[in-house]
């Protein structure tokens, strides 16, 4: 018989923070389960705790709106079955895919479900204990610029090293940023380092045409993304946000 090891403070009027809840529902979110003989054993969620610890402070994490994302829930369950089979297959082999530096990316109009599919991938990687950093590209660029104003020496280098070494980098809404030489160089530097080190990337973009995307973020960057992720998966259809609102 196994029971969860209480979180520090449990039983003294303090509830464990919801963010630390066990994704498997087996422990108190600390990665350990107490056996009947009094010995603590590791919970299967512990790898995920370690991975989240590595990427803590990077990006947004899984945003609240997407924390319940699932193949069985809207909007994902209503998407093209052919696309879902492909994504499900990628997710089922997420550990191997991330380990080999394989990525996946989605292209389509606004509101077609691209971000939900990308969050499924990032969520699966987190559950396998992989470190994940999720960034809307405009926020990522703002954080990079922010390092220029910090007094701490090497802050840019520190952020860059984290961006290129995290197991899975999730870039949302690529191509929405204003195109400048600085933006082109930063995006290329990050993608190129991850390509060289065979590290996985998940991308969403509203730009359907690869030639247009090359014009927006640079041909070298697109070339490396294609090698990491294969051809982008088109997600077609109406704006699901408008459909659900109606």
The total of other beta-carbon atoms located within 10 Å of residue 116's CB is: 21
Decide: residue 121, CB within 10 A, 0-12 exposed, 13-18 middle, 19+ buried.
buried
More confident residue, 75 or 102: 102
Report, as an integer, the average pLDDT of 10-27. Answer: 51
More confident residue, 17 or 171: 171
Find, among 142, 132, 157, 149, the residue nearest to 60 by Cα: 132
pLDDT digits (tens, 9 = 90+) for 160-213: 999 999 999 999 999 999 999 999 999 999 999 999 999 999 999 999 999 999
- pLDDT for res 9: 47
Cα distances (Å, whole numbers) of residue 26 to 49, 72, 142: 13, 22, 39
- pLDDT for res 214: 96
- pLDDT for res 77: 93
Q: Report the chain's mean pLDDT, rounded to a whole number.
A: 83
pLDDT digits (tens, 9 = 90+) for 35-60: 666 566 767 655 554 445 445 557 77
User: What residue spans in the chain does CATH classification 3.40.50.300 cover?
Assistant: 49-245
- pLDDT for res 110: 87
- pLDDT for res 238: 67
Q: Is 10's pLDDT higher than 50? A: no
Q: Is 13's pLDDT higher than 50? A: no
Cα distances (Å, whole numbers) of residue 226 to 95, 176, 202, 203: 20, 19, 11, 11
CATH code, residues 49-245: 3.40.50.300
Please name the helix (run of DSSP H) or strand (run of DSSP E) that holds residue 4, with its range, or none: strand 2-4
Task: Give the pLDDT band (50/70/90) at residue 240.
Answer: low
More confident residue, 24 or 69: 69
Task: Give the pLDDT band (50/70/90) at residue 149.
Answer: confident
pLDDT digits (tens, 9 = 90+) for 92-138: 999 999 999 999 999 999 888 999 999 999 999 999 989 999 999 99
């Amino acid at each position: 018989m196994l029971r969860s090891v209480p979180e520090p403070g449990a039983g003294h009027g303090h509830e464990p923070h919801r963010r630390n809840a066990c994704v498997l529902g087996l422990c108190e979110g600390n990665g350990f389960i107490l056996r009947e003989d009094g010995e603590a054993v590791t919970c299967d969620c512990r790898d995920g705790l370690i991975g989240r610890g590595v990427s803590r402070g990077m990006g947004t994490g899984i945003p609240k709106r997407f924390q319940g994302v699932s193949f069985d829930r809207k909007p994902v369950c209503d998407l093209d079955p052919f696309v879902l089979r492909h994504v499900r297959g990628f997710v089922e082999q997420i550990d191997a895919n991330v380990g080999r530096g394989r990525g996946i990316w989605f292209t389509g109009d606004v509101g077609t479900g691209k971000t939900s599919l990308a969050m499924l991938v990032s969520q699966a990687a987190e559950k396998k204990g992989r470190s994940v950093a999720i960034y809307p590209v405009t926020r990522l660029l703002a954080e990079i610029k922010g390092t220029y104003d910090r007094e701490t020496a090497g802050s840019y280098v520190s952020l860059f090293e984290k961006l290129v070494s995290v197991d899975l980098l999730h870039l949302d809404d690529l191509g929405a940023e204003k195109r400048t030489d600085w933006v082109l160089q930063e995006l290329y530097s990050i993608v190129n380092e991850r390509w060289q080190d065979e590290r996985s990337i998940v991308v969403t973009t509203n730009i359907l045409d690869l030639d247009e995307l090359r014009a927006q973020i640079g041909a070298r960057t697109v070339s490396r993304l294609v090698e990491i992720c294969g051809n982008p998966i088109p997600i077609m259809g109406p704006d699901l946000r408008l459909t659900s609102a109606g």
